[in-house]
Structure 1
Amino acid sequence: MPRKAIVYARISRDRTGGGLGVDRQLADCRELAARLDWQIAAERTDNDLSAYSGKPRPGYRQLLADLERGLATGVLVWHTDRLHRSPAELEQYIAICDPLGVVTHTVQAGVLDLATPSGRMVARQLGAVARFESEHKAERVRRARIQMAEEGKWGGGTRPFGYQAGGVELVPDEAAAIVRATETILSGGSLRSVVIALNEGGFITTKGKLPWTPGAARDMLTRPRNAGLVSHRGKIVGPGQWPALVPEEQWRTVVQILKNPARRTSPGNYARWLGSGLYRCGIEGCGGPLTVGTSGQKRHPSYMCRKREAGASRHVSRVATTLDAYVSAVIVERLKQDDARDLIRSLDVEADTTELHAEADRIRRRLEQVGQEFAEDDEMDVVSFRSATKRLRERLTGLENELAVAGHRNPLVGVADAVDVQSAWDELDDLARKRAILDALMTVTVQPAPRGRRPDGSYFDPKYVLIDWKVD
């Protein structure tokens, strides 16, 4: 009776995504099965998965499960290194195959006899060679990537959004979308509005051609490439050989904004009301933020202070739509004044970043030089090296923070200088931008108000809403 066998095929990197390497291995293994007169019971594959990386291999796990349940007593593989590239995996494979009498045959290396000490020794030697080759290859790849980064070259991979396949030439409409998205964040806009704009504009990600999500948009906006910089292992190495889409200070500001954990986007955590978290409680000694909940018999959305005295109602409560409408009207009226353009200038951050960039570049070069000196000078001890680099890195961090501050964009631009301020305000469909304007202009404090109707029939009395202007 022919021996039943399981065919296993694996390829570490499938550059085309077509699985052609796996298909060729399977074809060769089928030919080997025919020559041996073995019957193929199943075929298991892992495409684009490295045995060296340690990542789970579903096909390989299924192979082991098949052997343990007695589906076959033979394994066909193109080469031993398709099965294992780690000694630990090989020992596990031997522990399963030896008691079951499983025979392993390869297309390239012949039979792998795991039933005898000498056969297991050969298998272990082949495994050690495969491990050495993997580690040596990984080191070559790592050094090549470092060299490419130091030379400002792109390390390859999926086409970066905004650039053509080579990573250097621009895709004009995608590049313009990145600039617009950056300006949105710098002006106080939300990541959610960026995602909506990208998807409504017909743009798709280059990784799997999927619609944009907040996570994908954040990754795209915070990559150093946008500022014309190349990075390696999360550290800026220097300028890249591609055109920058935005100034470095603007990119650093976007990174600072979007890396803030408080801004992490998930369903339901973005603000839905103009003053949520910005309006303050007017009770003396409180001053806490107001958030929106429901109150009253009609369950109106209302701004409320979460604090309350023992046995009493909340400190303050105000119908959300009415309060937001009043504050919006005050903002618009203020921006209609003749000195509105002066407000824009008062919020502008004026900084000459030329020297900041130059000093940052000098420090990066000095860090690289110190690293080379440490590698070449046997007299330099680790303590001295760490002390020297610590001071340099602290100064570099300070410079990068200064650049980030210089990159902030004035949220009033486009509204305070508009011909029709009311229309400009109404047409802002990004609530985060309106909140940024509110936060830049004023502090709103809501005081407790008497219950009941006012003489004009309304329930809202603006004299219990105090507005302190942050800018003159």
Structure 2
Amino acid sequence: MARKVAIYTRISRDDEGEGLGVARQREDCERLVDLRGWSLAKIYEDNDVSAYKRNVRRPEFELMLSDLASGLIDGVVSYDLDRLARQPKDLERVIDVFDSRKRLTFATVTNDIDLSAADGRTMARVMVAFANKASHDSSRRIRRKHLELAMSGKSSGGPAPYGWQKDDPNKVDREAASHIRAAQKEILAGVRIGTIRRRWHEERLGHPREGTKRIAHHHLEHMLTNPRLCGYRTYHGEILLNDNGEPVTGEWETINTVKEWEAVCAAVAERKKGGTGAGRPVGRKYLLSGIARCGLCHTKIRGQINQRWQPGSKASKYSYQCSVVNGGCGKVGRVGEPVEDLIIDLVLEEQRKKAAEDGSPVEVRWPGEAEFQTVSDDIKALTAAANAREITVSSLLQVLPDLERRRDELKLERARFLRELKRAESIAEGIKNREDFRDLPIERQQSIILHSLSAVSIHPAGRGRRIFDPDLIEPIWRE
């Protein structure tokens, strides 16, 4: 009875995605199976999968080992030994299977190696060791090439990131760039990335990866905070610095200025910390939840659905109610829509008046700019002096860590300052009336309210009163 063997094919890179490399291996292996008079039971194929990288799992290789061990197949044919293994540990796993099952067959198109014999195993170990070294040397040369490209501000290849043209990754895609800048403004105005992600999915923005339904949250966050946006070159996820300690800039067109990019990164970082300072409310379903307070006990009031409401009914859909469960007195409540409409109108009117009083915008400068420039210049001068051997490296390292620490502190302060400045500029941009306001994401609505108000006090209406009285709604304006 003919032995049941399987074919294993693998190629590390399939840039065209057509599987031509593994197809050629399969044809040669099939001819060898026919010549030996074996029966082909199965074909295992790991296309575009590395056997050298330790963190890469080869699913078909794992399945092949399992089938060998369980007796479903009696041997393996591969084009060459390095197609099967480039890491010694993978070869040892194959040898362990050959130890557990005697008389297994292994053959390659290029040369035969008997893994059931000691001499064959020794030869296989030597060949895999050389293949591993060749992969290591190649990887080292590629890393060195990519580092050289990075230091010169060039791209290392690959598809153009979202925001740049597909056929020319050095030129900005104006339409995509406008979507990125609009999303960044929303972040500065308090909108969560999850909300932006849902909108991008509906509008089919961001080039989600093939086979996925929508863009992932961390992918969108990276798109909006990518150092490439302001021209910084990265290497292995970190901003690359030159010999003077300054960021390496790329040769592509930029979408943001450095200060704009720092402001967005600061806003994202602050939200990740979970803080909810002024102008940064947590996501809520109702506009005044946590902003409204009871006029009797001053406890925070939250919105709640009206259980009696039905579509088409005249009853209010939701209300703001002081709750005993939340530590309140339970004596104050008000239907939601009139209260919100009143507060929205008051806030928009106040912001219009303030804009008219301010007149033409005045350039606001960060107070720490002079100190930041001085510290940066000192670091640059000391580094240049050490490179020119005017001072010793030991002398440089005596003072450099403190200067770098102060520079990083000032950079963070600048980012926070710019974040607040940009947030104030964009918070009510483009809003003319209550309808425009209602069209905004709930996070941005809350940010606009908190930009002007610190709280809204709802006073009791008394028994039997049904007519909405705006005098019982007291806005607490920020000073």
> With structure 1 as the length reference, what TM-score do the two structures score?
0.81
Partner of 1:396: 408
Q: Is the 8 A contact 1:307 1:314 kept in 2?
A: yes
Aligned-residue Cα RMSD (Å) equals 3.9
Q: How has the CA–CA distance of structure 1 residues 4 and 308 changed in structure 2, closer, same or farther, with 3 Å as cutoff?
A: closer
Q: Is the 8 A contact 1:2 1:37 kept in 2?
A: yes
Question: Could you tell me which of 185, 188, 193 is aligned with 1:186?
Answer: 188
Deviation at 1:322, TM superposition (A): 3.4
Question: Could you tell me which of 329, 337, 342 is aligned with 2:345?
Answer: 329
Give the letter for the 1:30 counterpart. E
Partner of 1:227: 230
Partner of 2:219: 216
Q: How has the CA–CA distance of structure 1 residues 389 and 413 changed in structure 2, closer, same or farther, with 3 Å as cutoff?
A: closer
Partner of 1:429: 440
Deviation at 1:215, TM superposition (A): 3.8
Partner of 2:165: 164
Partner of 1:466: 474
Gapped regions of structure 1 (runs ≥ 5):
none
Q: Distance in 2 between matches of 1:198 and 1:429?
A: 15
Q: Is the 8 A contact 1:86 1:131 kept in 2?
A: yes
Q: Is the 8 A contact 1:442 1:469 kept in 2?
A: yes
Q: Distance in 1 between matches of 2:68 and 2:387?
A: 53
Q: How has the CA–CA distance of structure 1 residues 20 and 368 changed in structure 2, closer, same or farther, with 3 Å as cutoff?
A: farther
Deviation at 1:194, TM superposition (A): 3.5
Give the letter for the 2:475 counterpart. I
Q: Distance in 1 between matches of 2:422 and 2:39?
A: 70
Deviation at 1:35, TM superposition (A): 2.4
Partner of 1:124: 125
Deviation at 1:251, TM superposition (A): 1.3
Give the letter for the 1:326 counterpart. L
Give the letter for the 2:342 counterpart. Y
Instruction: Please list, as runs of the form range in 1=range in 2, the aligned pairs for 1:439-450 lying within 5 A after superposition.
Output: 439-447=450-458, 449=460
Q: How has the CA–CA distance of structure 1 residues 15 and 306 changed in structure 2, closer, same or farther, with 3 Å as cutoff?
A: farther
Question: Could you tell me which of 207, 214, 229 is aligned with 1:205?
Answer: 207
Deviation at 1:63, TM superposition (A): 0.5
Gapped regions of structure 2 (runs ≥ 5):
241-246, 276-281, 310-315
Q: Secondary structure of 2:7's partner? A: strand
> With structure 2 as the length reference, what TM-score do the two structures score?
0.80
Deviations 1:153-188 (A, max 9, x none): 122223211213442122222222222222332333
Q: How has the CA–CA distance of structure 1 residues 324 and 386 changed in structure 2, closer, same or farther, with 3 Å as cutoff?
A: farther
Deviation at 1:90, TM superposition (A): 1.5
Q: Secondary structure of 1:229's partner? A: coil
Deviation at 1:467, TM superposition (A): 2.4
Q: Distance in 1 between matches of 2:51 and 2:62?
A: 12
Deviation at 1:249, TM superposition (A): 1.3
Q: Distance in 2 between matches of 1:42 and 1:156?
A: 37
Give the letter for the 1:399 counterpart. K
Q: Is the 8 A contact 2:5 2:40 kept in 1?
A: yes
Q: Is the 8 A contact 2:295 2:460 kept in 1?
A: no
Give the letter for the 1:162 counterpart. G
Partner of 2:318: 301
Partner of 1:247: 257
Deviation at 1:363, TM superposition (A): 7.9
Q: Is the 8 A contact 2:22 2:47 kept in 1?
A: yes
Q: Secondary structure of 1:92's partner? A: helix
Q: Is the 8 A contact 1:356 1:399 kept in 2?
A: no
Count of paired positions: 452
Deviation at 1:152, TM superposition (A): 1.2
